[in-house]
Amino acid sequence: MSQSKVNLYYKNVTADVIGDEHGITRAQFDELAQKTEPIIAQVNRQRQAGRTPYRDLPHSRDYPAQVREIAAELKDKCEIFVVLGIGGSALGNIALQTALNPYMYNIDPAQRKGPQLFVFDNVDPAQLTSFLDWIADRLDTTYFNVVSKSGQTAETASQFLIIRQLLLEKYGPEGCREHIIATTDKKHGTMRKITDAESYRSLEVPDGVGGRFSVLSPVGLLSAAVCGIDIDSLLAGAADMDERVSRPEFKTNPAAVNAAINWHYYRRDKKISVMMPYAWALKDLADWYRQLWAESLGKSTDLDGKTVFIGPTPVKALGATDQHSQVQLYREGPNDKLFTFLQVKTFAGNVKIATPPDCAPELAYLADKEMSFLLNSEKLATEYALLQDKRPCLTVAFDEINACTIGQFIYLFEVTTSIAGRLFNINTYDQPAVELGKKATFALMGREGHEEMAEEIRPYSKFDADFLV
């Protein structure tokens, strides 16, 4: 396994760096340790009792073997691989692809080891028609992975029905069996019913693993393996982090320190958590993190039944791009944010900046410098500027971006979320607020049994002309 590591660096949230008003004092850090250590033990016990099955995914032998078998079968015949899914059934797939395959993967056959990959995690008709036009005469070599635990999700179900019809018209039921792979619940749900009735190949969404914790299961592993990502290293990286985030001692446990610092700031009016990768490859991991953090920690009721309306707001920014968009606010706006930078030591590629023309000597400082040096200097410069304004900054430092470090990062943030959930005293693993919107969509689309809700929504369905300007 690669020895590259992911580490959390937290000096720049301390009072020594940003002062007592906004920084964490040594005494406060000790209090955080005291508060969090019993929670580490509790989270470890929950895991031993089988209540957080996502924790065991890095150690599974069965899931990677099942995934590898399908990937091997597709190897010589699949030129386009399409994932249909949304939320936890798509964000991890997208994040792995962006992180671990080259920027031009889909465009340049020389830069890819697998088929082109498309992930449809929306129901935008213009987007889909454009794709369907393009794919019409490429269907022979296109394979679809429909990922839905329930099979009831309107977005995924509608895409699936469109694709199924397309395949049926062109190839008949045999074509559907050949071109569709379902990733769904082992026993229950609509997609399982269809999968069994129509005899699709299928992979399992493990029991008790919610979408946002499922990237290291077949949900995220199949598209990764098909597209040439080393899923063994990914899981080995997560397993390596498992040892670190299970450590009972607060100060040696990166997930505990990360969760406690986030919790500390939430309670001190820094309720916004900005994740800012300084690597294009990591930008979709920040999207994945947004869902993990928001759906897990945004809750109206705590574990004692008290109304709390709690939860940090995760924000995604990309360095250096958003320095020219957000940093003005981040420095001079309210001091209500905790920043988490993602920094990479060694990039997959590097390029030297060329010499400027004689007429532009003011650009000479750039000449002969590597672009990675510029990007990392910009990260440091932005962090330094924020620290001058007493804004707390964490850094997740990657030795390099590879399957092993991405596995470490994913697992670090999953367990950080579990520990943070206990600190916030909420149920980390449910998402009751998402359900009402799902039901309202059923009602608006005329699903049987939702007539009453359709009536309730009707007053909102038209713009009131008095308020239209």
**Which parts of this chain interact with ligand PA5 (CB under 6 A)?**
86-89, 148-150, 153, 156, 210-212, 295, 431
| 324 included as an active-site residue | yes
212-225 burial by CB neighbour count: b if 16+ within 10 A, else e? Answer: bbbbbbbbbbbbbb
Dihedral over alpha carbons 440, 443, 448, 453 (to 10 degrees): 80
Instruction: State the DSSP string of 400-462.
Output: E-SHHHHHHHHHHHHHHHHHHHHHHTS-TT--HHHHHHHHHHHHHTT-TT-HHHHHHHGGGSS
How far apart are the C-alpha atoms of 395 and 418, rounded to whole Å? 20
- Tokens (6 digits) for 454: 């359709």
Q: Which is nearer to ligand PA5, 160 or 250 (CB)?
A: 160
Q: Which is nearer to ligand PA5, 84 or 317 (CB)?
A: 84
Q: Which is nearer to ligand PA5, 12 or 148 (CB)?
A: 148
Annotated active-site residue in 5, 75, 251, 438:
438
Q: Determine whether 247 is exposed, middle or buried from the number of CB atoms within 10 Å of its CB (0-12, 13-18, 19+).
A: middle
Q: Which is nearer to ligand PA5, 211 or 319 (CB)?
A: 211
CB 288 within 8 A of CB 268: no
Annotated active-site residue in 155, 204, 295, 414:
295
CB of 291 to ligand PA5, least distance (A): 6
Q: Which is nearer to ligand PA5, 204 or 383 (CB)?
A: 204
| 295 included as an active-site residue | yes
Report which of 208, 210, 114 is spatially closest to residue 417, judged by C-alpha positions.
210
Instruction: State the DSSP string of 186-237.
Output: SS-SHHHHHHHHHT-EEEEE-TT--GGG-TTSHHHHHHHHHTT--HHHHHHH
One-letter amino acid for residue 72 of the chain: A
CB of 341 to ligand PA5, least distance (A): 26
Q: What share of the chain is helix, strand, coil (3-state, %, to 5)?
A: 55, 15, 30
H or E element: which one contains 315? Answer: strand 313-316
CB of 149 to ligand PA5, least distance (A): 4
Contacts of 130 (CB under 8 A, 6+ apart): none
Q: Which is nearer to ligand PA5, 1 or 433 (CB)?
A: 433
CB of 370 to ligand PA5, least distance (A): 39
Residue closest to ligand PA5, measured at CB: 211
Annotated active-site residue in 21, 324, 362, 448:
324
| 306 included as an active-site residue | no
CB of 119 to ligand PA5, least distance (A): 13
CB of 297 to ligand PA5, least distance (A): 13
Looking at the annotation, which residues are catalytic? 295, 324, 438
